[in-house]
Amino acid sequence: MKLRIAIQKSGRLHDESLQLLKECGVSIDNGKDQLKAQAKNFPLEVYYLRNGDIPQYLKDGIVDCAIIGENVLIEKGEGIVITEKLGFSKCRVSLAVPKDFEYESLQDLDGKRIATSYPNTVLDFVAKKNISVDLHIINGSVEIAPNIGLADGICDIVSSGSTLFKNNLKEVAVLLKSEAVLAVSPTIMNEREEILEKLKFRIRAVLKGRDAKYVLLNAPNDSLKRIIEILPGMKSPTILPLSEEGWSSVHSVIPQGDFWEVIDKLKDAGAEGILVCPIEKMVL
């Protein structure tokens, strides 16, 4: 029996999903234009699907799990469980209007025409804000809608904002923030859940490795206590004596988000020869 996983057929999420599986040690026979592929060394079948179709495949039990944008699940995936947030393909779903639109608050959009591919998300948001909008549902690029008189504004995913800028639009409200997630079918069989747990174990090890750096440094022994207090290692740092009397080598792990702040403190505490290495995987 094999676990059936869906990923986006093409695009950035497709590439990053395959990269994650590769880092999990899963080798996939991935021929050009295939809609389904087999893993060579793990009980896994990969289905390449349109992003918007994946929630229904999960609901129907055609696939057991999927790597998908959280925003798509919020729009179409009611009842589907998110089991892991994956930390890549981050974006936001936002409202945008033409740059010459005199916008001061959400009330300025009351009664306006909004073009979007996310009608459920928009309606839920505006209902909570006690305003109403006239939706024009578009499956595809919506940025052009205000320029051709089809809508007063749009609601779409935003990453860098460059597409909005090119289309003379400005972002005025963020409805939600999104990233890639691992979602699970409500009908997954117990036997496949066991395979899923093994895959999740590997994914967590990769993600923890991505989010940390391995640090080696030299420190005078009289500064060790202060340096150890600074280091946020998994349990405690490794300390080894150097051949030079009065000095030790300290090995530890630093979370990526705290990296530069911790390094500055280590230098101030007397650390020297600081060496930083990437971590491929981290199993706790």
Over residues 58-89, the pLDDT tens digits come to: 999 999 999 999 999 999 988 899 999 999 99
The structure tokens listed for 16 are 């990053």
Structurally, the chain folds into a number of domains equal to 3
Residue 284 belongs to some domain of the structure: no
Q: Lowest mean pLDDT of 20-34, 57-71, 96-110, 162-176, name the range.
A: 20-34
Domain shared by 62 and 193, yes or no: yes
3-state secondary structure of 279: coil
Report the alpha-carbon distance of residue 13 to residue 55 in Å, rounded: 15
The structure tokens listed for 188 are 């997954």
CB 203 within 8 A of CB 83: no
Q: Which CATH number characterizes residue 111's domain?
A: 3.40.190.10
Classify each residue of 68-100 as buried b or exposed e, where b means 16 or more C-beta atoms within 10 Å of its C-beta: bbbbbbbbbbeebeeebebebbebbbbbbbbee
Domain shared by 81 and 198, yes or no: yes
Residue 254 belongs to some domain of the structure: yes
Residue 139 belongs to some domain of the structure: yes
DSSP state of 53: G
**Domain limits for position 29:** 3-89+179-209
Report the alpha-carbon distance of residue 94 to residue 160 in Å, rounded: 12
With bands split at pLDDT 50, 70 and 90, how would you rate the model's confidence at 31?
A: low
User: What's the sign of the alpha-carbon dihedral 155, 159, 161, 166?
Assistant: negative
Q: Which residues contact 33 (CB under 8 A, 6 or more apart)?
A: none
Report the alpha-carbon distance of residue 26 to residue 14 in Å, rounded: 15
Domain shared by 108 and 223, yes or no: no
Residue 123 belongs to some domain of the structure: yes
Asked if the model's pLDDT at residue 234 lies above 80, the reply is no
Domain shared by 43 and 169, yes or no: no
Residue 259 belongs to some domain of the structure: yes
| Average pLDDT of span 176-205 | 95
Over residues 249-273, the pLDDT tens digits come to: 999 998 888 889 989 999 999 999 9
Report the alpha-carbon distance of residue 108 to residue 137 in Å, rounded: 20
Residue 68 belongs to some domain of the structure: yes
CB 49 within 8 A of CB 13: no
Domain shared by 70 and 189, yes or no: yes
CB 155 within 8 A of CB 114: yes
Among 158, 190, 209, the domain boundary falls at 209
> Concatenated DSSP letters for 235-275?
S--EEEE-SSTTEEEEEEEEEGGGHHHHHHHHHHTT-EEEE
Domain shared by 161 and 204, yes or no: no
Q: Which CATH number characterizes residue 257's domain?
A: 3.30.70.120
For the chain, what percent of residues have pLDDT higher than 90? Answer: 74
Domain shared by 255 and 189, yes or no: no
φ, ψ for residue 183, nearest 5 deg: -110, 150
Domain shared by 150 and 223, yes or no: no
What does the pLDDT read at residue 233?
Answer: 61
Domain shared by 85 and 101, yes or no: no
Among 156, 178, 200, the domain boundary falls at 178
CA-closest candidate to residue 154, choices 196, 104, 99: 99
Domain shared by 41 and 165, yes or no: no
Domain shared by 69 and 204, yes or no: yes
CB 74 within 8 A of CB 94: no
Among 209, 230, 260, the domain boundary falls at 209
| Average pLDDT of span 198-223 | 93
Count CA within 13 A, CB hemisphere, residue 241: 4
Domain shared by 141 and 193, yes or no: no
Q: Structure pTM? A: 0.84
Residue 203 belongs to some domain of the structure: yes
Residue 283 belongs to some domain of the structure: no
| Average pLDDT of span 116-123 | 95
Count CA within 13 A, CB hemisphere, residue 273: 11
Q: Which residues contact 168 (CB under 8 A, 6 or more apart)?
A: 98, 99, 147
With bands split at pLDDT 50, 70 and 90, how would you rate the model's confidence at 136?
A: very high
Report the alpha-carbon distance of residue 76 to residue 60 in Å, rounded: 13
